[in-house]
Amino acid sequence: MQMSETEMMLRGYGLTTAEIFYRMPDYQHVLNTFIWQEYDLAPDHPRLFRFIEFWQDKIEGPLHSVRFTHRREIAPGEWRNCAGELTLH
């Protein structure tokens, strides 16, 4: 069963964006880039590392380098549970 994006964010997932530099299979001196974005858990980043392993096993373009950033969309100071509402006047 797949979780919704909101459920994932509430469970601690954040948006991970990776910029992957790889060499063209026929032209090894040419670098190309690929952008990958997925909700993932920091600091282990299991989905990112699974994708990198997939790339190394299935795609012919050898990796040169990977740069990534991670940002939690909902942090503890930005969200709180509100059980009721009080109106004055």
- Residues constituting the chain: 89
Which pLDDT does position 88 carry in this prediction? 76
Q: Provide the residue ranges of all domains of the chain, joining segments of one domain with +.
A: 5-71
Stated pTM of the model: 0.76
Task: Read off the DSSP letter of residue 26.
Answer: S
Q: What is the pLDDT along the chain (89 residues), one digit of tens a residue?
A: 688 888 888 888 999 999 999 999 899 899 999 999 999 998 999 999 999 999 999 999 999 999 999 998 776 666 667 777 777 77
- Tell me how far apart the alpha carbons of residues 81 and 25 are, in angstroms, rounded to a whole number: 52
- Tell me how far apart the alpha carbons of residues 27 and 37 are, in angstroms, rounded to a whole number: 26
- Tell me how far apart the alpha carbons of residues 76 and 62 are, in angstroms, rounded to a whole number: 39
SS3 42: coil
